[in-house]
Structures are given as C-alpha cells and as structure tokens.
Structure 1
Amino acid sequence: MRIFVSSVRKGLEEERDALPGFIRALGHTPVLFEDFSAQPTPSREACLKALDSADVSVFLLGPSYGHVFQETGQSATHDEWVAAKTAGKPRWVYRKQGVTFEDAQQSFARDVEAYATGVFRDSFKTTAELMTKLAEKVNELGSMPSPLSFAPLTQPVSLQWSLDEAGVEGGTPIPLVELHVLPVGFTGHSARQLEELSTSLADRIRQTGAVNDNASLTLSSSQAHATVSIPLTRPHRWDDPRPGEPVEVCLHKTGQVSLRATLPRDGMGSILDQDALPRQISALLRFIGALNLIQHERIVVAAGVSAPRHTQLDRFNPHQSRTRAELSAYTRSFTLQTEPDESISLAALDTGSDEVAKPLARALIKQHPSGA
C-alpha cells in the first residue's frame, strides 16, 4: 500500500523525518515530496500525481498553513486535501497538540474537521504517539464498515433535469451523463447566498483539480441557478478515444447541484460501458463533494443520460478506437433516468461514492433497450 503524507514541513520536521522509515517498517510505501527527484513537471502537478498514485493520504495539521500559491489561492496541503477528497482517497487526519495554529491554518482545520463535509480526526503530542496511532489505523483499514446510511423518503423530491439538452459537437448530438444531488430538508439559498456562491463557483471547480488549469470556464446565472460551462479537451484526431469529461456544473437556488459530462467515446460514438460507467459516476459524485456546496447530512442522488439513442452498450478502450459498432435501430424514444426513493448520508459524495455509483450505473444500463 502506498501512503501519501501531506503537511507543511515547518513545525512538523521530526514527524516527517520519522514517518518514511516507520511506514516502510509496516510493510508499506511512503510517498513524501522530500523523496521526489528532479522532474520536468511543475511541483504542484508532481505532488498531485504522486497523491493520485497513493492508496491512502495522511494529513498532519501543525501550526503553519504554508505558502499560498497564486494559481489556487491556497497552500499545497490544502490543494492536496481537495484532490484527495475529489479522488475518493481515504484521508487520515492527525492534529498536533500543544502548538498555536496560524489563523489560516485554523480556518483550514475547521474545513477538514467540519461535521458534514470533513472527517473525524485524531490528535498527537509526540512523534511516538503519532506512529502508534498510524499503525492502528493501517491495521483497521481492511475491516472498515460502509460509511453510508440509507433511509426511505417520506415524500417525493423535485429535481431539475436537463435530459432534453444534449451536447453538440460538429453538428452531431453528444449524449451526456448527468448527475443530480439535492440536500434533503434544505430550504434553499437566498438570492444573496446564490450570488455569492455563483461568484466562487468557477474557483471551486478549479480547486478540485478535475479540470485543466488553463480551461476557459464560462459563468452564466439567473435568479434560479448559476451554471459554469467547461470546454471539452480536444483530441489529436476526431476519432481518438476520449474518456468522459465534465462539461457543466449547475447550482440551483433549491440547493441542488447538477453535473453533466460526456460519456467515453471514440470514432464510432458514445459508449455505455458497464465497467467504465460506475467509475465515472463515482468520480462525478466526488467532484460534487469537492465543490463543498452541500453540507446537509442527508441527500438524494439521481442520474440520467441525454440523447440515449446515440449511445451503444459496448466496451471502451482508451488506447484504440472501435472499427465497428451497432448503430441504433430503435424507432421509439426511450429514456435513461433514475428516480430516487431514499436519502443517503453525505458520505455518498466521498468515501461512499463507489457504493452509490454501482446501482445507478446498473439501472441506466438496464433501461437501455440493448441491456434489457
């Protein structure tokens, strides 16, 4: 198991020096920026790439927040926290006692420890105590229960859908998978709150690390919602295989957050892959969670696919485009859409995303005429 250690070095020098050897002694691989050799990629990109390769991320909260980078407006540790949350990595947080936190670090700690959107953290006074607690956590990892809880809805919920609005590229409809998350029992945002959140929406999207730093994000807003459009990444050739990618984030006044993304596709069209679709939905759930727009403990989740007649049930190969595909022979219209009948705990947008994504993906594929 690869264990990524994230923290500012200042004020945690002894802990960072001790952990690599200790993690190796436990039979696992430590990943720290001190071990990085010279690389052609920017430091931030290298750190996030290393984090992505890890199985678990350990966050040490000491007195210092760290250098604030102009690109993100936050520290490297804060960047790594958001990236780990977006990627659905297990995050273990240990807060050092007996030290005074800087104001920025105190604010970051509040985000990390927030009841609805953060994680429970432990604390330590000495390096020896930290290592003992880390060893216990490593041993617990294999027997952790599901973080989710479910409850039947007492009354139907009203969701805003966009299934009649397919994407278009080169005059051709592009099916989009859309995911909707609505906090249960939330009274909605005031006009002032919606405006404030609209202003920060593009920055929140960039901070997730899920879109290119150079992507030109476009904001549009009304009294009912705020929407940020994300440009598609252009392939080298029109028929190059392309994984699904987000194209739109919408925050509704009701509190609903909606995310639309392309499906995996190649020169033969868009693909509903029984293995790739749950992974994509899980990633989209974590993306929504990383935006930090929903803090209610109970939510409902629904998914759908626009223009489903332009999809095929098939296998997506990211390295090679298909040479044949079954073209749609369906004359009648059909929809791919789930309707929630239960609420889920907020862990669905984090560590429980895989468990939630699988039945959503199965339901969509089952509704497709080829999957019936």
Structure 2
Amino acid sequence: MRIFISSVRKGLEEERDALPGLIRALGHTPVMFEDFSAQTMPSRQACLAALDSADACIFLLGPFYGHVFRETGQSATHDEWVAAQTAGKPRWVYRKLGVTFEDTQQDFARTVEAYATGVFRDSFHDTAELMPKVVRKVRDLESVPSPLSFAPLAQPVPLCWSLHEAGVEGGVNRPLLELHVFPVEFPGYATRELEEVGNSLTDRIRRAGIVKNGVALMSSSSQEQATVSIPVGRPRTWDAPQPGELAEVRLYKSGQVTLRATLPSDNMGSILDHEVLPQQVTSLLRFSGALNVIRQERVVVAIGVSDPKLTQVDRFNPHQSRTRAELSACMRSFTLQTEPDESTSLAALDMGAEEVARFLSRALIKQHPSAP
C-alpha cells in the first residue's frame, strides 16, 4: 500500500522525518515530496501525480500554511487535500497541539475539520504521540467497512429536477445527466447566505480541480438558486467520440446541489454505458463533495437523464464511433430518473461514492427500454 504524507515541513520537521520509516516498518510504501522533488516536471505537478498513485493520505496540520501557488491561490497541502478529496482517497488528519496556527492555516484547518465525510481526524503533541495513532490507522485500513449507512425517508424531500429544461448555457442541446444531492434536515439558506455562497461557487469549482484556470465560467443567480455554466469541449471532427463532461453547477436555496453533465456520445448519439456511467456518477459525487458546500451528516442522492428517447444503452468506445444505433424515437414516452426514497451518510460524496454510483446507475439503466 502506498501512503502519501502531506504537510509543510516547517514546524513539522521531526514528524515528517519519522513517518517514512514507520510506514516502511509496517510493510508499506511512504510517498512524500522529499522523494521526488528533483524531477523534470514542476514539483507541484509531481506531488499531485504521486498523490493520485497513493492508496491513502496522511495530512499533518502544523502552525504554518505554506507557500501559496499563484495558479490556485492555495498552498501545496491545500491543493493536495482537494485532490485527495476529489479522488475519494482515505484521509487521516492529525493536528498538532500546543502551537499557534497562523491565520491562513487556521482557516484551512477549519475547512478540513468541518468536512465530515469519512475523514479520520485526531491530534498530537509530539512524534511519540503521533506514531502509535498512525500505526492503528494503517492496521485498520486493511479491513475498512463501508462508510455508508442508509435509512428510509420519513417524508419526501422537495427535490428540484430540471429534466424538462432545454439544454444549458453554451449551446449544449443533447441529453444531459443530472445528479442531485439534497441535505437532510437543513433549514435552507437565507437570501443573504445564498448570495454569499453563490458568489463563492465559481472559486469552489476551480479549487476542486475539475476546471482549468483559463476556462471562462458563466455565473447567474436568482432568489431561488445560483448557477455556474461550464463550457463543454467540442469534438475534433463531427464523428469523433466524446466523453461526458460537466456542464453546469447549481446551488438551490434549499441547499440542494445539482450537477448537469453531457453523456458520452458519438456520431450516433448519447450512450448509457454499464461501465462508464458508474464512473461518471462517481466523479460527479466526489466533485459535489469537493465543493465543500454540503456538510450535513445525511443526504439524499438521485440521478436522471433529460431527453431519454435520444439515448441508447450501449458500449462507449472513446476511440471509435458506432456504425449503428437504434434510438428510442419510436418507443413510447418514458422517463429516466431514480427514486429519492432514502437518505445516506455524507460519505456518499467521498469514500462511498463508488458504491452509491453503482447502485444509482443500475437503477437508471434498468428503466431504459433498450436495456438488455
């Protein structure tokens, strides 16, 4: 198992020096900045690439925030936290006690500690206290139970669907996959709160790492919702296959977060693939968690597809378009949306995203007339 160690060095020198030997003694591979900083690629890029290869991440929070990168406006540890969160990596956070945190580090610590999704958090005074705590977590990881729990809803939630709306900003008029996350027992935003969080939505999307800094985002708002539209790439040629892409993020006054995305497609139309759809839904769930908007312990999650008659259950080949497809234009009218009849733990937006995505995707595809 590869375990990534993330922290600034200043103020945590002893702990960073001790952890690699401990992890090796436990039979695993430590991964940290000191091991791969001398590379041809930029060190920040190398760090994120190494984190992507890790099975779990240790975050040490000491008194200092670290150097702020101009590209993201965040420190390396903050960037790594977002990347690990978006990827659904197991994260163990240890906060050093008995030291004074600078303001920027205190703000970062609040962000980390406020996020309850399957994240282990603890504290330590010194290396001697930290080491046995890390040992216990490494041993626990070998038999981690599902972080999810499910419960029937006592009453329906007022979920807002947008399946009948025409396309999204930017001219995307093909079928859209939409994913909704509704926080249970959340009183909703006051008008002032919705405006404040809505104004931060563009920055939250960029910090989550799914949109490059050079991509222009379009935001709009009303009394009921804040919306950010994301340009969708166009195929190199008219018949080139195109993977699904995030096209829109909405935040409603109720607290509901809605993501709308294109489905994988080729020159024969949009495709619901038994293998690709769960992967896309998993990414959307983790992205919704990385926005760091929903913090309630229980959520309701549902997915749906607009214009389902223009979709087909089939295999998506990213390298070659299909030569034949039987769309559902002659079939009776039907809808594709899952029933939001239970709540699950917030881990659905993080470590449990893959499990929830598999269930939702199966339930959705099963409704399609062309499903085998």
What TM-score comes out, normalization by structure 1 length?
0.92
1:328 aligns with 327
On the 8 A contact 2:226/2:250 being kept in 1, the answer is: yes
- Report 1:270-281 matches (<5 A): 270-281=270-281
| Residues 1:37 and 1:326: Cα distance change in structure 2 (over 3 Å) | same
1:11 aligns with 11
Once the 2 structures are TM-superposed, how far is the Cα of residue 201 of structure 1 from its aligned partner? 0.5
Q: How many residues align?
A: 371
5+ residue gaps, structure 1: none
Amino acid at match of 1:225: Q
Aligned counterparts of 1:353 and 1:223: Cα–Cα separation in 2: 31
On the 8 A contact 2:90/2:119 being kept in 1, the answer is: no
- Report 1:202-217 matches (<5 A): 202-217=202-217
On the 8 A contact 1:64/1:105 being kept in 2, the answer is: yes
- Secondary structure at the aligned position of 2:344 is classed as strand
- Report 1:63-82 matches (<5 A): 63-82=63-82
1:26 aligns with 26
| Residues 1:147 and 1:109: Cα distance change in structure 2 (over 3 Å) | same
On the 8 A contact 2:168/2:247 being kept in 1, the answer is: no
2:35 aligns with 35
| Residues 1:228 and 1:352: Cα distance change in structure 2 (over 3 Å) | same
| Residues 1:96 and 1:300: Cα distance change in structure 2 (over 3 Å) | same
Once the 2 structures are TM-superposed, how far is the Cα of residue 39 of structure 1 from its aligned partner? 4.5
1:107 aligns with 107
| Residues 1:30 and 1:309: Cα distance change in structure 2 (over 3 Å) | same
Tell whether 2:291 aligns with 1:285. Answer: no
- Secondary structure at the aligned position of 2:200 is classed as helix
Aligned counterparts of 1:108 and 1:250: Cα–Cα separation in 2: 25
Q: 1:18-72: CA deviations, max 9, x gaps?
A: 3333323333222212222555544433322222221111101111111222332
Once the 2 structures are TM-superposed, how far is the Cα of residue 115 of structure 1 from its aligned partner? 6.3
- Secondary structure at the aligned position of 1:344 is classed as strand
2:307 aligns with 307
1:49 aligns with 49
Once the 2 structures are TM-superposed, how far is the Cα of residue 114 of structure 1 from its aligned partner? 1.9
On the 8 A contact 2:274/2:362 being kept in 1, the answer is: yes
5+ residue gaps, structure 2: none
- Secondary structure at the aligned position of 1:370 is classed as coil
Q: 1:216-245: CA deviations, max 9, x gaps?
A: 110011111110000113443343333222
Aligned counterparts of 1:38 and 1:233: Cα–Cα separation in 2: 34
Range that drifts further, 107-116 or 74-83: 107-116
- Report 1:1-372 matches (<5 A): 1-39=1-39, 41-114=41-114, 116=116, 119-165=119-165, 167=167, 173-318=173-318, 320-331=319-330, 332-371=332-371
- Secondary structure at the aligned position of 1:258 is classed as strand
Once the 2 structures are TM-superposed, how far is the Cα of residue 99 of structure 1 from its aligned partner? 2.2
Once the 2 structures are TM-superposed, how far is the Cα of residue 102 of structure 1 from its aligned partner? 1.6
Aligned counterparts of 1:221 and 1:281: Cα–Cα separation in 2: 26
On the 8 A contact 1:188/1:253 being kept in 2, the answer is: yes
What TM-score comes out, normalization by structure 2 length?
0.92
Identity of aligned residues (%): 70
Once the 2 structures are TM-superposed, how far is the Cα of residue 353 of structure 1 from its aligned partner? 1.2
- Aligned alpha-carbon RMSD (Å): 2.2
